[in-house]
Amino acid sequence: MAGQTAVTSWLKKLFGTGPAPVVPVAAPAAAAPTPPTVDASTAQRQQGNRFLDQGNLSAAVACYRQAVALDPASADAHTSLGFALQQLGQLAAAQTALTQALALQPGNFDAAYLLGQVHNSLQQPERAMAYFEQALALQPAFEPLYGELCQALIQAGALDAARKLLVEGLRRFPQNAMLHFFLGNLHTLAQEWAAAIASYSTAQALNPALTEASEGLAAAHRRLGYADLQSENYAASEQHSRQALALRPQDAPAQNNLGSALAAQDRLQEAETAFRAALALAPQTALFHSNLGGNLVLQGRLEEAVTSLRQAIALDDSGNPGGFSNLLFALNYHPDLAAEAIFEDYKAFEQQFGAPRRADWQPHPNDRNPARRLKVGYVSPDFKNHAARFFIEPLLAWHDRSVVEIYAYAELAQEDSLTQRYKSCAAHWVPTRGLSDAELAQRIRADGIDVLVDMAGHTAGNRLGVFARKPAPVSLSWMGYGTTTGLRAIDYYLTDATSAPQGSEHLFSEEPWRLPGSFVSYRPGAAMGEVNVLPALERGYVTLGTLTRSIRINHHTVRVWAQILQRLPTARLVVDSRSFEDAAVKNTLAQQFAALGIAPERLQMGFTSPPWDVLRGIDIGLDCFPHNSGTTLFETLYMGIPFVTLAGRPSVGRLGSAILQGAGHPEWITQSEAEYMEKVVALASDLPALAQIRATLRAHMQASPLMDEEGFAKTVEQAYQAMFARWLEKTGMLFN
């Protein structure tokens, strides 16, 4: 006989849905010889056993009840009754019978073990744990018990105890695939991806039919890929997902894992097929709707994406804000929604995830001396090899240590060489992985942080749940997301007058704090190389280009770019980013241009990394709208290429404008699609002037506020001091 344990929350989180591994259930022990006075009870129990063997559980229960009635002091009769009731799913009655059996016979292994299973099924891990431990003390050589007790320990949050148990279990039973699988799960919970892969691989080698091990390998390889940016891990994740599906074709979590692995390889339409297959098998799963929505966002199919993401939110009862963050991220790119309409969803996010946390707000006992050095905490998942390094590192490196004391709260799964550089910039390095929002908020409060800076917004790895608890007297959001967070607990949004012009305050939950000059300082990568001569002088035609992802290219941009190409009949357009590794994505964009009369030979689409030679082949950059590009615009300017931008909604629609303003070239900012087209055509029509721009633009940029690292750091420090002084004034506690 076999039974199935409860689906644990940690497996749901890892795999989406699906059953926990099946662990054998012990049949009740054979009856000991009984005295003649209880022969009738023994006979009833033996008849019940026969019914049990035939699968007739109801008849077995009736016999066992008779056995108990005939001999109420028989622990075996109560144990048999409890087992049959458990198999019928009558858990409360099973608990009563088994508890009585254990009271009659404290050394009854079967009763203790079965009670552990009953409480596990009732989602009572602490009580299950106690009974499993009792059973283990009675029979430490009973192999299946180690896995079940491990599950209960994990559910109860006793991860160290679970790990110790598995070490002992594997010492006794090194060939037990399930124990290796559970150890892989523990490594996964600790985000020890390489160790998780090793344990899952051992489990799979010992039991190739263990689908859960394949799913674990798929998830761990994918997460390791996210951490170290190694594409071979994504390929391995795909391979293990397909192995799981070969074993269990109707496995929805395996389909979801496959979709995630394909999406990580930018095979977006294949990934969409897998996500839809997962939803066909489990249509009420919030995670699958969320993943499909995220995939559609990357394809630029915003209406469909928003529909899927709203379904995910409606189905998600976990209290996790991740699905809502995905929706807000998608809405930022919507080509047809007004900024006010989008902000309504940000206000809804505040109502659902921000306002309820106000009960956690506490007074801040920070030192009230406004002239002292401030403790500044930076919270980020990007203290690693990430595009944010071009902006975060110069600020941290140039901070005056007599003005600010830097705390880096690092939400990292894996460190790299860039991490070590960040560590050298921080007086205090605080890893935050594994800390709950409440725990991290308490740590920040204990550290006495004066100014807390969010650098992620609603992107992956954010800790907005910490900011919602207001652990520091002053908090702000900067750079990592490009617009408001929606949280009223965050006091300021650090920006500039171009990104958030006067009159846009109603589109921010925070108060826009406008820095003079620029909202960032940019430090280019060391390997970009020198600026080359204007390509059009050698080719005889102008090349327009963008390094943007497909998510920013919509029917507005395609129409405007097509009209520019029509007005410049010899011009070519380069679109280069990871999105266009996918042949289907390239084909879709080519068809959109073809419908507007642009032949495919005038388009060059693909992905080149690093993109420096691609930029050397571009004469004029094209910014996207209504959501502008980001880091690639800085790189475009640095390679001597002017770009034209359309100033749209604050502030994701004014990133290009802010960059040009900071670089000292506001003349390339436009206010309408018609002006955008005219500006591009004008630049393309004067090659000598364009060549002069290319020859001088890098030097102009280097001399501009956009690359004044020391000046920017000083400006930011002055802003922090002013924010803190304002808090002191508001609280009426100025130092005296």
pLDDT per residue over 588-613, tens digit each?
A: 999 999 999 999 999 999 999 999 99
What is the per-residue pLDDT for 231? 66
CA atoms within 13 A on the CB side of 40: 8
**Is the pLDDT at 643 greater than 90, yes or no?**
yes
Residue with tokens 């994701």: 652
Burial class (CB in 10 A: 0-12, 13-18, 19+), 59: middle
Local confidence band at 17 (pLDDT 50, 70, 90 cut-offs): very low
Local confidence band at 145 (pLDDT 50, 70, 90 cut-offs): confident
* pLDDT > 70: percent of the chain: 93
What pTM does this model have? Answer: 0.80
The CATH number of 289-358, from 1.10.150, 3.30.2000, 1.20.120, 1.25.40, is 1.25.40
Altogether, the residues listed in the chain come to a count of: 736
Domain boundaries, the chain: 9-210, 289-358, 361-515, 535-707
Q: Which residues 6+ apart lie within 8 Å of 320 measured at CB?
A: none
Q: Return the higher-pLDDT residue of 57 and 489.
A: 489
Average pLDDT over residues 312-319: 90
| Segment among 225-229, 263-267, 283-287, 661-665 with least mean pLDDT | 225-229
**Is the pLDDT at 9 greater than 70, yes or no?**
no
Average pLDDT over residues 63-85: 92
What is the per-residue pLDDT for 697? 98
**Is the pLDDT at 16 greater than 50, yes or no?**
no
Angle at which helices 125-138 and 109-121 cross, to 10°: 160
What is the per-residue pLDDT for 240? 86
Local confidence band at 704 (pLDDT 50, 70, 90 cut-offs): very high
Beta pairing class for 643-646 and 451-454: unpaired
| CB burial readout 546-582, b (16+ within 10 A) else e | bbbbbbbbbebbbebbbbbbeebeebbbbbbbbbbbb
**Mean per-residue pLDDT over the chain, rounded:** 90
**Is the pLDDT at 501 greater than 60, yes or no?**
yes
What is the per-residue pLDDT for 217? 87
Q: What is the pLDDT of residues 319-372, one digit of tens each?
A: 889 899 999 999 999 999 999 999 999 999 999 999 999 999 999 999 999 889
* pLDDT > 90: percent of the chain: 74
Average pLDDT over residues 278-289: 96
Q: What is the pLDDT of residues 372-403, one digit of tens each?
A: 999 999 999 999 999 999 999 999 999 999 99
Local confidence band at 226 (pLDDT 50, 70, 90 cut-offs): low
Asked if the domains 9-210 and 289-358 are classified in one and the same CATH topology, the answer is yes
C-beta pairs of 277-285 under 8 Å, 24+ apart in sequence: 278/16, 278/252, 278/253, 279/252, 281/250, 281/251, 281/252, 281/255, 282/16, 282/17, 282/252, 284/315, 285/16, 285/17, 285/252, 285/256, 285/315
Angle at 243 between CA 239 and CA 246, to 5 degrees: 135
Q: Which CATH class is domain 535-707?
A: alpha beta
> 454's torsion region: left (phi>0), alpha (psi -120 to 50) or beta?
beta
> What is the C-alpha R_g of the chain?
31
Q: What is the pLDDT of residues 546-589, one digit of tens each?
A: 999 999 999 999 999 999 999 999 999 999 998 898 888 899 99
**Is the pLDDT at 229 greater than 80, yes or no?**
no
The CATH number of 361-515, from 3.40.50.11380, 3.30.360.10, 3.30.559.10, 3.40.50.150, is 3.40.50.11380
Beta-ladder partners of 407? 377, 428
DSSP 288: H
What is the per-residue pLDDT for 224? 81
**Is the pLDDT at 418 greater than 80, yes or no?**
yes
Average pLDDT over residues 538-546: 97
Q: How many CB atoms lie within 10 A of CB 528?
A: 16
Closest C-alpha among 495, 416, 425 to residue 457: 495
Local confidence band at 227 (pLDDT 50, 70, 90 cut-offs): low
Q: What is the pLDDT of residues 151-203, one digit of tens each?
A: 888 888 888 898 999 999 999 999 999 999 999 988 888 878 889 999 999 99
**Is the pLDDT at 284 greater than 90, yes or no?**
yes
What is the per-residue pLDDT for 31? 44
**Is the pLDDT at 644 greater than 90, yes or no?**
yes
Local confidence band at 228 (pLDDT 50, 70, 90 cut-offs): low
Average pLDDT over residues 451-469: 96
**Is the pLDDT at 26 greater than 80, yes or no?**
no
Q: How many CB atoms lie within 10 A of CB 334?
A: 18
The CATH number of 9-210, from 3.30.70.260, 1.10.10.10, 1.25.40.10, 3.40.50.720, is 1.25.40.10
